[in-house]
Amino acid sequence: MHTSSVVRLGVRWSNTLKVGIPALDADRRCLVRVISLLQGIRDADEARTMVTATLETLGLYARFHFAREERVLEAFNYPGLELHRSEHQAFAADLERLRRRFGGRADRKAAALLQSALAERLAHHVLLYDMDYRAFIDDPARAEQIARSGCAESLLSLDAPRRPCRRRPRVPQTAAVAML
């Protein structure tokens, strides 16, 4: 399937995106779902919010997925690992550029264009790079185990965008009960 076919179909999961390692396929399914958040945006305010949230979420989750995938490729001595790793770096850099360009400034049209571009970029990566390593994974159960190992550590090591959290002051429980 050509990558533009995926875009014409909209942002939907397809079995053509599976590599046969359930954890990594689940990651891709999540990436598709995140991109699909840009569908059906109603107004400019929603576009600004959803574009920012989508790009930040994609950036974090893609890095998590890339780390898992690279662990598997390394364990199976995939000869294209360095090329694959550099493609991951380029993908992450593309997401960061898009976040800087559109974050907080997108309208409905930009959100639709961005959704199409992200779907095309993900399909390109999966169909050209990820499908290439399938032949080197001769033990899918072992690959799944490797992909699942270190998940918590991978998530904890991700650097989320550094913004102060706005928290509402906590109401002490005794005060909350007294207000009832």
Model confidence at 8: pLDDT above 80: no
Q: What is the pLDDT of residue 154?
A: 53
CB 52 within 8 A of CB 103: yes
pLDDT tens digits along 161-180: 444 333 333 434 433 333 32
Gap between the Cα atoms of 84 and 34, Å rounded = 22
Compute the C-alpha angle 57/91/129, nearest 5°: 120
Q: Which of 1-15, 77-91, 159-173 has the highest mean pLDDT?
A: 77-91
Gap between the Cα atoms of 149 and 143, Å rounded = 10
Q: What is the pLDDT of residue 106?
A: 86
Secondary structure of residue 71 in the 3-state scheme: helix
pLDDT tens digits along 104-142: 788 999 999 999 999 999 999 999 999 999 999 999 999
DSSP-based helix, strand, coil % in the chain, nearest 5? 70, 0, 30
Residue 33: CB atoms within 10 A of its CB come to 14
Residue 13's pLDDT band (boundaries 50, 70, 90)?
confident
Model confidence at 9: pLDDT above 80: no
**CATH code for residues 3-160:** 1.20.120.50
pLDDT tens digits along 92-107: 999 999 988 887 788 9
pLDDT tens digits along 45-83: 999 899 999 999 999 999 999 999 999 999 999 999 999
12 sits in the region (left: phi over 0; alpha: psi -120 to 50; else beta) called beta
Q: Where are the domains of the chain?
A: 3-160
Measured in whole angstroms, the distance separating CA 66 from the mean position of its chain's CA atoms is 9
